[in-house]
Amino acid sequence: MTSGAPYENEPVYQNAVKQLKEAAALLGLPDDVVEVLRHPERVLQVKIPVRLDNGKIAVFIGWRSQHNSALGPYKGGIRYHPNVTIGEVVTLSMWMTWKNALAGIPYGGGKGGIKVDPKKLSPRELEELSRKYFAAIADIVGEDIDIPAPDVYTNPQIMAWFFDEYSKIKRYPAWGVVTAKPPIIGGLRPREVSTGYGTALVAREAAKLALGGFEGKTVAIQGFGNCGRYAALYSVKWGAKVVAVSDSKGGIYDPNGLDVEKLFEVKDKTGSVINYPGAKRITNEELLELDVDILMPAALENVITEKNAPNIKAKIISECANGPTTPEADHILHQKGVIVIPDILANAGGVMMSWIEWSHNRMGCWLTDEEALDRLDKKMTHNFHEVYNEWQKKYSDHPMRAAAYAIAVDRVVRAMKLRGWI
């Protein structure tokens, strides 16, 4: 029976419900509990009228979805994208509930979005849009209520405007209301590297268990944005060999290894990694099927499907992107013995660093870069082994994702039971 909620029929939401039901089946959860878990606690839709530089007013629609607060205040980013829908925002907020529960940090799940192409706005228009959106949701966010952060096409400057707008409304500097702020106003410098750092870290730990070590192992990375570039940097720092990378213009491959610092330079100067000299040009599809030890999809969703999964040669896949592997492909890879470290574990470094930032904002003290990265390293290493061991012990007939979901959903359900919600 459908509830009539406006996100109900969107495919992205239906996929998330399918994943939830799989975890519920493993845990033996009854249908009524699944029904409680599949809906967000609250979704606010707001109208954002922006005075454009040409004098006309453009109206944008934004949302904030607060999926579940059993484990703490809602936490999750805000996305600016022309294709954002209410269903996407609700789905992402549900995934944040599981990611934060699995991370073992005291947060529930939330997510926001505005349907806008920010590349078409001037800096002044973007600032007006951002301030008005945050003012419109100010009543439902707060340091102890709901703590946003960046997502696709939002950045530390936008977080600074959010922080300032909220602080003006409340009439005090509300450091902890958003994370991934610029370091001068309460952010942590390692936030920028933290997601890619975590993706490389869990690959490193899996390689120690399954491949006899990380050093000298070959790595291919799809996407060279915030996540991909730092996953590459730390893979090399920890002794692996990055042999292929790509971006939206295509990929490059050199079996002898790529110079990652040179790749940063080429990407920043020319806009694409394909201008790196001396490597073989490959397509994004070819990159996924290369004969490498470790693959890190760090760009888009649904790139590993039932079509290409049989051809994948990597032994470990560490998912930096959200949702890069379809459920069908996940099962094919599991049958082939490939370890797929699921997104809610492999890309949690960003939200963990946000939690470190938030907790120190609340205490009024600032960490050094080394202290912050050291905490992230210890917590993610612990979390990887916790999920891996539980997978091996209880769920080894299923992909590793099933174990991650089961642990996360179980934690949320136990908190809801203790609080008397179910």
# residues contacting ligand NAD (CB under 6 A): 20
CB distance 288 to 308 below 8 Å:
yes
Q: For residue 422, which amino acid is it?
A: I
Nearer to ligand NAD, 85 or 195 (CB): 195
* Least separation in angstroms between CB 42 and ligand NAD: 23
Applying CB under 6 A, which of residues 248, 302, 368, 396 lies at the interface with ligand NAD?
Answer: 248
* Least separation in angstroms between CB 153 and ligand NAD: 7
The Cα–Cα gap between 29 and 31 comes to 7
Under the binding rule (CB under 6 A), the answer on residue 187 touching ligand NAD is no
Nearer to ligand NAD, 64 or 191 (CB): 191
Under the binding rule (CB under 6 A), the answer on residue 224 touching ligand NAD is yes
By CB neighbour count within 10 A (0-12 exposed, 13-18 middle, 19+ buried), where does 335 fall? exposed
CB distance 329 to 306 below 8 Å:
yes
35 beta partners? none
Nearer to ligand NAD, 87 or 228 (CB): 228
* Least separation in angstroms between CB 211 and ligand NAD: 24
Applying CB under 6 A, which of residues 177, 203, 292, 299 lies at the interface with ligand NAD?
Answer: 299
Q: For residue 279, which amino acid is it?
A: A
Give, as ranges, the residues between 360 and 389 that touch ligand NAD (CB under 6 A). none
* Least separation in angstroms between CB 1 and ligand NAD: 32
* Least separation in angstroms between CB 295 and ligand NAD: 13
Establish whether 132 is a catalytic residue.
no
Angle between the N-to-C axes of helices 369-394 and 400-418, in degrees from 0 to 180, rounded to the nearest 10: 100
The Cα–Cα gap between 118 and 129 comes to 10
The Cα–Cα gap between 400 and 210 comes to 14
Of the residues 75, 99, 111, 217, which is catalytic?
Answer: 111
* Least separation in angstroms between CB 251 and ligand NAD: 8
Under the binding rule (CB under 6 A), the answer on residue 322 touching ligand NAD is yes
Applying CB under 6 A, which of residues 19, 222, 318, 383 lies at the interface with ligand NAD?
Answer: 222
Q: Which of 366, 348, 349 is nearest to 357 (CA)?
A: 366
Nearer to ligand NAD, 132 or 179 (CB): 179
Nearer to ligand NAD, 62 or 350 (CB): 350
Under the binding rule (CB under 6 A), the answer on residue 167 touching ligand NAD is no
Q: Give residues with Cβ within 8 angstroms of 25, minimum separation 6.
A: none
Applying CB under 6 A, which of residues 284, 318, 325, 326 lies at the interface with ligand NAD?
Answer: 284
Applying CB under 6 A, which of residues 125, 247, 293, 330 lies at the interface with ligand NAD?
Answer: 247
Applying CB under 6 A, which of residues 112, 148, 342, 350 lies at the interface with ligand NAD?
Answer: 350
Under the binding rule (CB under 6 A), the answer on residue 202 touching ligand NAD is no
* Chain residues in the site for ligand NAD (CB under 6 A): 195, 222-228, 246-248, 284, 298-300, 320-322, 347, 350
